[in-house]
Amino acid sequence: MLAGCSSAPVGQASAGSSSAATVAASTAEPLSASPAPPAATPAPPTPAPAQPVAPRGLVTDADLAQATAAVAGMSVPDQAGMVVMANSAQAVGSDLVARLHLGGVILMGSNGAIDGTTSGTPEQVKSVTMDLQSQVPASQAGAPLLIATDQEYGLVTRLVNGFTDFPGTAKLSSIGSTDEAAAQTTKVTAAAGTEMLAVGINVDFAPDADVVPVSGSSAIGDRSFGSDPQRDATLVAAAVQGYQSAGLAATIKHFPGLGRISADTHESLPTLDVTCDEWNTVEAVPMRAGVDAGVALVMTGHVLVPAVGTTVPSSISGAVVTDLLRGAGAADCTGLNFTGVTVSDAMEMAPISQNYSPGEAAWRALVAGQDLVLMPTDPGAAVNGIITAAGDGSLSPDVLRAAAARVYALRLALARAQRPGLDVVGSAQHEAIAADARAAG
């Protein structure tokens, strides 16, 4: 995720990359179930209608209670595996998920070819996700693995070949009327969510909730909805509601905000040099809107935040993750009181990988308040580091259990998602939604 996302961006889909796939019928099926056989005469593909998202998000109290009980009965190694999300380059084609009992995998690749595929077609991506789901241990049946990707559309687009080329944030934010822009954003993200679910992806690391400067450079650039915090907030909330109305877990990023930073956090550790008053009225506004819309996950970037006294990257800072994101605030910066799943940005990025071992980075992230440790350079070492830290007192076992329970609760919630057939991917209806949104701009 460029400048706070888990990998450098893949190019946009080229024209004609959204050809329809008609392999399976559009009859919905549970996300964790095996695919239904194709119907003799497939029904016309129909996008899932947007449904209201509960204010507290996808996870219910019952999900969390069930997850807490389940995690309490798990071994420490299983709890440690639950809070790690590995890179597909390491997980696909291996037994990594089965061996470590991982909580998730992020699908990466290049030029639209997801790891484990030759060209990243919907059929190929679905085959990869089904193989990953088959490695979920029997003891966790009914709680599908978190399978994520960076599908922002625009600059960062992983699913290209055969998928609808929906407009990205820059195009959607160019729509003059904020109300119309929000309506189009919700339609686009709801349709996009069904395409991801159809191929077995249940988490999208989108939308980007950063606020870029009115003038000057930004490593985020067109990935953001723009430079107006209030307008950005409206569109971030619309995107969250669209994705999650389809049953997909959305993620806002890159907390506490990278829009006004020009440095690439893949390569260096920049500083967000703003006062709390500035942060409260700029960076926090769309982030808070995403949280209030019920977003399932919040991703934390790698940045120093002097306003709250950080001396380490925000992704492993308790002042940022526990106080500012989860709590009431730090210093004079007002917190977001987020109760969902926190996820670090990629731990393979330089600010982390050049200063901490995979094991130390993992347990420090959990101590700071993270629930998911994303893309450690060595997933096995990360899991072992967590196990060791839970045993020697560096990491409270209660903190580990709480993080694992939040991850497992989200997995239980996503088991309720209905997965449409592949015929929705690149469908005529989705092409029309994409065209309508572009025309509105």
- Cα within 13 Å of Cα(23), Cβ side: 17
Residue partners of 196: CB distance under 8 A and separation at least 6: 149, 151, 159, 202, 204, 248
Whether 308 is in a domain gets the answer yes
Which structural domain, as residue segments, surrounds residue 311? Answer: 50-440
Do 106 and 114 contact (CB within 8 A), yes or no?
no
Whether 34 is in a domain gets the answer no
Is 232 marked active-site?
no
Is 345 marked active-site?
yes
Which pair of tokens denotes residue 435?
Answer: 């065209």
pLDDT tens-digit readout, 128-173:
999 999 999 999 999 999 999 999 998 899 999 999 999 999 999 9
> Coil, strand, or helix at residue 140?
helix
Whether 40 is in a domain gets the answer no
Residue 265: pLDDT band with limits 50, 70, 90: confident
Residues 346, 314: Cα–Cα separation, whole Å:
12
Whether 343 is in a domain gets the answer yes
Count structural domains, the chain: 1
pLDDT tens-digit readout, 166-215:
999 999 999 999 999 999 999 999 999 999 999 999 999 999 999 999 98
Q: Which CATH number does the domain housing residue 54 bear?
A: 3.20.20.300
Size of the chain, expressed as the number of residues it contains: 441
pLDDT tens-digit readout, 404-434:
999 999 999 999 999 999 999 999 999 999 9
Q: Which of 286, 304, 300 is nearest to 341 (CA)?
A: 300
Whether 9 is in a domain gets the answer no
Whether 13 is in a domain gets the answer no
Asked if the bond preceding 430 is cis, omega within 30° of 0, the reply is: no
Alpha helices in 29-110 (DSSP H): 61-72, 76-82, 88-91, 96-100
Whether 14 is in a domain gets the answer no
Which pair of tokens denotes residue 66?
Answer: 């069930």
Which pair of tokens denotes residue 406?
Answer: 């939040």
Active-site residue identified among 101, 266, 302, 430:
266
Do 393 and 224 contact (CB within 8 A), yes or no?
no
Whether 19 is in a domain gets the answer no
Active-site residue identified among 115, 150, 345, 371:
345
